[in-house]
Amino acid sequence: MLSKRLILFILIFNLASYNLWRDWQGKHDPFSGDVAEYYSYNIAAFIDKDLSFSNSHYEYLKPTPKGYKIPKMSIGLAMAYTPFFLLAHAITIITGGIANGTSEYYAYILYYAAMLMVVLGLWYLRKVLLNWFSDKATCYTLAILFFGTNLLYYTLGSNLMAHSFVFSFLCFILYGTHKWHETSKNKYLYCLSFFIGWCVLIRPTSIFMIFIPLLYGVGNVVELKLRFRFLLENKIPLFIGTIFFLLPWIPQVLFWKTYADSIIYYSYGNEGFDFISPQIKNVLFSFRKGWLLYTPLMSLALFGFYNLFKTFPKLFFASAIYFLLTFYVLASWWFWSWGGSFSNRALIDTYPVLAFPIAAFITWFASKKLWKPGKFVLIIFMVFSMFQTYQYTAIVIHWDGMTKAAYKYGFLRLKFNPEERAHFNSLLENHDDNPNTWREDRKKKDQ
């Protein structure tokens, strides 16, 4: 099958070309920026053996009411790192290496683990898509998601960010959802509940993923009533599923209670949401970080919702509700650009679900006369997306300061000489995003 061979090709492509995309070339390790904060729990637990962070001097630690300083990031991604960290730790000790958490084995084992996690996620997403779409539509959909979006960069570039793991976990959730409704076996409910809980711990906006198992396969009012009846008849399995949802939160709750004196603790300080003025236009189209500018093929997902509604209504309502709620909340976050990143990285979390409208669009388009030339246009856009990904690694696309002039100057360039670099830098815009004054700054801009 084409889609199976595509997954194998993606695996080989990843292993053969990762040095083109790695964002820590020439550096000692990939544990910097947000990753360092996620990873600090592993260092604290297994290297320093001090989860109070009392001997740590990380600048990102935040004071708690109990007098400790802790990371603002949750423990969820560190939990995902842990089995690979322990493997690297054991190999490092056995081989007589420097067991400090950041030496060579740690860096490469975690890097390859994140890379393979995405491939595994794509494999399970393929299994789900094949239940609804042809192998050809599935193949093109998976190719678009990987080669035609910023998922490529967060698989091979900065892949220890949350997105590679959350993307894969959401693929597992979709697979568990399909199997639960197909077989009525509760083991799938418990597994998907566990992964939803874990995803919410890592990225709280994943909470809207709950609508997928609840509404998957519901395409009209009659089916909605039947689903409601099914849920009522399965109260005990749903209760047990809720327990599985909460299981990943146990380490986090214990950590918060111990060091912040609260079982639920908001560690983000003054950072928050502006639900009155979501930055929809900026998120979609801005030169700074516009999703559809730097990831244009994802417009197929937006157009594809129409095809999904017309042809696959059983997938439409769950997908549309999940995406619209998630998009609205992400666009309402105070730091809508999500810092240094390629395209809008936060939306990667929605890609497993957006595979449905993309596949619906491909299914419709493949039946038209324009399909033959159209598929070559799709391939050209995938190549263009890979080209822009490389531009980002070469800082021809800046991580947060892009303007229309800077984009135009760097268009179709692979690199700059020193003089060109200086001119490019002069075209960038400096953004002084302040978590303590963002509300006042937003009001001034809106006036």
Q: What pLDDT does residue 27 have?
A: 65
Please write the tens of the pLDDT for every residue from 155-203: 999 999 999 999 999 999 999 999 999 999 999 999 999 999 999 999 9
In terms of C-beta density within 10 A (0-12 exposed, 13-18 middle, 19 or more buried), how is residue 377 classed?
exposed
Please write the tens of the pLDDT for every residue from 383-421: 999 999 999 999 999 999 999 999 999 999 999 999 999
Q: What pLDDT does residue 103 have?
A: 93
Please write the tens of the pLDDT for every residue from 215-261: 999 999 999 999 999 999 999 999 999 999 999 999 999 999 999 99
- pLDDT above 70: residue 26: no
3-class DSSP state for residue 297? helix
Cα 345 to chain centroid, rounded: 7
- What is the value of pTM for the model shown? 0.95
E-assigned strand segments in 27-87: 62-63, 69-70
Give the closest residue to 348 by CA, choosing from 140, 157, 80, 131: 157
Q: What pLDDT does residue 437 have?
A: 76
3-class DSSP state for residue 57? coil
Please write the tens of the pLDDT for every residue from 324-375: 999 999 999 999 999 899 999 999 999 999 999 999 999 999 999 999 999 9
Of 63-77, 165-179, 218-232, 423-437, the least confident: 423-437
Rounded Cα–Cα distance for residues 243 and 259 (Å): 24
Please write the tens of the pLDDT for every residue from 42-62: 999 999 999 999 887 788 899
Helices (H) and strands (E) in the chain, counts: 21, 2
Domain ranges of the chain: 134-427
